[in-house]
Structure 1
Amino acid sequence: MTVLGGCGAWPGAGQACSGYLVEDEGFRVLIDPGYATLPRLLALMGAADVDAVLVTHGHPDHCSDLNPLLRARALADDPAPPLPVHAPPGALDAVMALDKPRMLAAALTIHDLRPGRPCELGPSTELVSLAKDADLLLAEATYPERVPEEDAPYLSSARDAGRTAASAGAARLLLTHLWPDTPAEPALAAAAASYPGALSVATAGLTVDLA
């Protein structure tokens, strides 16, 4: 897995928002092509080399660069085949509205993801079972200790991520989606309070070998 960016909300100077490239036996999946991730992706491979895209939700810091990725594929001299894009229903409506529908219609095939039961506050208890014995848990950690009440249904903290990783027995925890231009130390300390394993923050260009 290669981190293309890890900023939450907007990209800091010289950085990018959420974006992760997962490669396995030659198959390349782009997860959450947020703001400023495409130039970093193109430094590694061509736009046509992406095999599939997974978008977790429709916030622009997680999906905005899907538009230029599709443009790069559709407007090439030799257009790439339709790109499978997996996303929750409606999550791509805004980013797909950036161009005329016919312009990018042949560039992708959208597959709706059907999320499970919603959770009102904090991380879902299902995260522990999903992450059980994972080699790597990549976890959103916008705030170090406490998520403000108005953001609690949507965001989590580094402390939450540490607890989840510890309960799941994850071998390594990678914190991402920190506020731009904020130091990593408070998030690392908050996660380490409950998680004793290998711990780091997602920074652009970081590559993690999961073999």
Structure 2
Amino acid sequence: MRFTVLGGCGAWPAAGQACSGYVVEEEGFRVFVDPGYATLPRLFELMGAADVDAVLVTHGHPDHCSDLNPLLRARALADVPAPALPVYAPPGALDAVLALDRASMLAGSFTSHALEPGVPVELGPFRLDVFDLPHHVPNAGLRLTGAGGRVVAYTGDTGPSAELVRLAKDADLLVAEATYPERVPDEDAPYLSSALDAGRTAASAGAGRLLLTHLWPDTPAEPALAAAAASYGGELAVAAAGVSVDLR
């Protein structure tokens, strides 16, 4: 299983960077997770629009789903349109981004599927388990288990929750939102996490590796890494375009 970062900025893309966006691959099956702002050009450096086999969206904020629109355009408007793309998201999360075009333009370019906590999904060689995690809008934590048993867990954006340890339990790779290094402002504390929180979750869950993502744009990585390392002793990095993890 291979996990590739297309971008990891929170809220908006910094210069030369992209917002949340990842590709998970196994046995030639490619899942595009969270097509946020500016991720599509990064994706196209790796593959064509028709090479994506499924899309997963954790929640409906545009820094996690805006580039679904140009991806669908690229598939629908090609000389030979690509087959309908399975797109999974919490109910209603994609209403705004899908409304950017008239329905007839994108007709047949995708099939919509609701992510439901506790309802596993078979997705190519993967098993997908979904967890309900707290955010300003409904947010789905994602746990992808490959055919070889390797596990990638991804929080989306989330506040504190006992479900986080279940999501990340013994995962080979935990990709965790870490907008702030140590302290989340009071008004966002129920809905967002820090690198300190992510390190504690990874340690409690026994995750093999931790990748911090969704850092505030133009902030240095070092404070986040130091905060996470205070409680987590495993392999640790910050999500940036081009970072790739091979899980064997």
TM tier, shorter chain? Answer: over 0.9
Alignment RMSD: 1.3
The alpha carbon displacement at 1:119 in A equals 4.4
Aligned counterparts of 2:207 and 2:239: Cα–Cα separation in 1: 16
Partner of 2:62: 60
Distance 1:67 1:132, change over 3 A: same
TM-score by length of structure 1 reads 0.97
| Contact kept? 1:122, 1:160, Cα under 8 Å | no
The alpha carbon displacement at 1:114 in A equals 2.2
Partner of 1:101: 103
| Contact kept? 2:132, 2:163, Cα under 8 Å | no
| Contact kept? 1:143, 1:187, Cα under 8 Å | yes
User: Which range moved further: 157-166 or 97-106?
Assistant: 97-106
Unmatched tracts of structure 2, length 5 or more: 118-130, 136-157
| Contact kept? 2:72, 2:109, Cα under 8 Å | yes
| Contact kept? 2:34, 2:64, Cα under 8 Å | yes
- Could you report, residue by residue, the CA deviation over 1:10-39 in whole angstroms, capped at 9, with x for unpaired residues? 000010000000001110000000000000
| Contact kept? 2:89, 2:113, Cα under 8 Å | yes
| Contact kept? 1:7, 1:180, Cα under 8 Å | yes
Q: Structure 2 matches for 1:151-170, cutoff 5 A?
A: 151-170=188-207
| Contact kept? 2:133, 2:159, Cα under 8 Å | no
Q: Which amino acid aligns with 1:76?
A: A
The alpha carbon displacement at 1:148 in A equals 1.1
What is the aligned length? 211
**More helix per residue:** 1
| Contact kept? 1:135, 1:172, Cα under 8 Å | yes
Q: Which amino acid aligns with 2:29?
A: F
Q: Structure 2 matches for 1:13-92, cutoff 5 A?
A: 13-92=15-94
Identity of aligned residues (%): 81
Match of 1:127 among 164, 169, 183: 164
Aligned counterparts of 1:118 and 1:36: Cα–Cα separation in 2: 25
Unmatched tracts of structure 1, length 5 or more: none
Distance 1:118 1:135, change over 3 A: closer
The alpha carbon displacement at 1:183 in A equals 0.1
| Contact kept? 2:225, 2:238, Cα under 8 Å | yes
Partner of 1:206: 243
Aligned counterparts of 2:172 and 2:227: Cα–Cα separation in 1: 21
Q: Which amino acid aligns with 1:10?
A: W
| Contact kept? 1:159, 1:190, Cα under 8 Å | yes
Partner of 1:137: 174
Q: Which amino acid aligns with 1:158?
A: A
Q: Which amino acid aligns with 1:109?
A: T
Q: Which amino acid aligns with 1:130?
A: L
User: Which range moved further: 143-152 or 83-92?
Assistant: 143-152
Aligned counterparts of 1:179 and 1:37: Cα–Cα separation in 2: 17
| Contact kept? 1:128, 1:168, Cα under 8 Å | yes
Match of 2:222 among 185, 188, 191: 185
Aligned counterparts of 1:92 and 1:61: Cα–Cα separation in 2: 12
The alpha carbon displacement at 1:80 in A equals 0.3
Aligned counterparts of 1:93 and 1:28: Cα–Cα separation in 2: 24
Distance 1:50 1:97, change over 3 A: same
| Contact kept? 2:134, 2:191, Cα under 8 Å | no
Partner of 1:197: 234
The alpha carbon displacement at 1:131 in A equals 1.0
- Could you report, residue by residue, the CA deviation over 1:25-55 in whole angstroms, capped at 9, with x for unpaired residues? 1100000000000000011000000000000
